[in-house]
Amino acid sequence: MKKARNIETIGVIGVGRVGAALACILKECGYQVTVVTRKKLEGDTIVINKNKIKAVALELMCNEADIIFITTPDGIIGETVKKLMKYKLTGKCIFHMSGSLGSNVLSPLKKREAFIGSLHPLQSFATVEQAIDNLPGSYFTYEGDMDVIGEVEQLVKKLRGTLKILDSPDIKSLYHVGACLVSNYLIALAKLGTECLCTAGFDEQEAKEALLPLMQGTLNNIAKNSLAQALTGPVSRGDLQVVENHVRILSKELPHIERAYCELTPILAEIALEKGDISEKDCKEILRITG
């Protein structure tokens, strides 16, 4: 493995939520940062969280940047690769930040003698401001050329993050599913819970205010305990009557939520069984009720 180079200049292609936050934070870390964006002309300055960052032509970025990050939507990465193929990239690190795509989407750039990789922050970015707050300290997954792992480690350390190396581009989709389930689908669960409370008499804002501390408490439990130990509620207690009542009321009032409830409850039952909180008989009965 080669000795890591000292990285000084970083280019960011695309200044959406992730790109803008990355450019801002790296600037604050002391790097020279430039951006390529359709929204600004060459030589213009963009201001992100009071940081002034220069917009440049792609050719200039390719000449000057040690590392170039592609932070465009997944569907545009291929188009960006075609544009980069026009320039000499010998020794440059080209990383994309897609969670679902592997480094192989950048493979054509190997012909231009570039190092390629995927460096993905395992984090949620609803706005640029929240992205700036959330990005430092996150887990980062890397998959790609190991000759530049030293440079990757430097960057992640600067971002106060934790680095996890993935073995192959083929595993990226499965990794991304896991991330989506606990992030995006948490919103789906919040929506379903809100619907239940609204049907019970809350307005939407009241429901949100009531449920958020409960959700945060559950996250705190997960942070401090195993997943099994963090589980609470009627399934963990083997309270079959409560589960049966849940299915009955959902069938009557909110049948579209009943399906989600009956799909997820057996997973909780298996966790409770493995932990020893419920018996095999109770687990089978829960499966029958929700089947």
Residue 39 clears pLDDT 80, i.e. is over it: no
Domain ranges (residues) in the chain: 9-167, 176-290
Q: Are 160 and 140 in contact (CB under 8 A)?
A: no
The per-residue pLDDT for 45 is 84
Digit-coded pLDDT (tens) for 242-252: 999 999 999 99
pLDDT in tens, 40-50: 666 688 888 88
**CA 139 vs CA 117, 136, 159, 204: distances in Å:** 16, 9, 10, 33
pLDDT at 1 over 60: no
* pLDDT range class, residue 51, cuts 50, 70, 90: confident
106-148 tens-digit pLDDT: 999 999 999 999 999 999 988 999 999 999 999 999 999 999 9
Give the Cα separation of 79 and 101 in Å (integer): 14
Determine contact, residues 77/96, Cβ cutoff 8 Å: yes
Q: Name the residue type at position 153.
A: E
* Cβ-based neighbours of 65, under 8 Å, separated by 6 or more: 9, 10, 11, 34, 92
pLDDT at res. 37: 87
160-167 contacts at long range (C-beta below 8 A, 24 or more positions apart)? 160/136, 161/121, 161/136, 161/137, 162/138, 163/139, 164/139, 164/140, 165/141, 166/141, 166/142, 167/143
Q: What is the mean pLDDT of residues 10-26?
A: 94
Spatial neighbors of 255 by CB under 8 A, at least 6 apart, are none
Q: Quick one: average pLDDT of 271-277? A: 95
pLDDT at 239 > cutoff 70: yes
CATH of domain 176-290: 1.10.1040.20
Task: Please give the pLDDT value at position 40.
Answer: 65
Tens of pLDDT, residue by residue over 214-229, are 999 999 999 999 999 9
pLDDT digits (tens, 9 = 90+) for 66-112: 999 999 999 999 999 999 999 999 999 999 999 999 999 999 999 99
Superfamily of domain 9-167: NAD(P)-binding Rossmann-like Domain (3.40.50.720)
245-267: average pLDDT? 97
**pLDDT tens by residue, 171-202:** 999 999 999 999 999 999 999 999 999 999 99
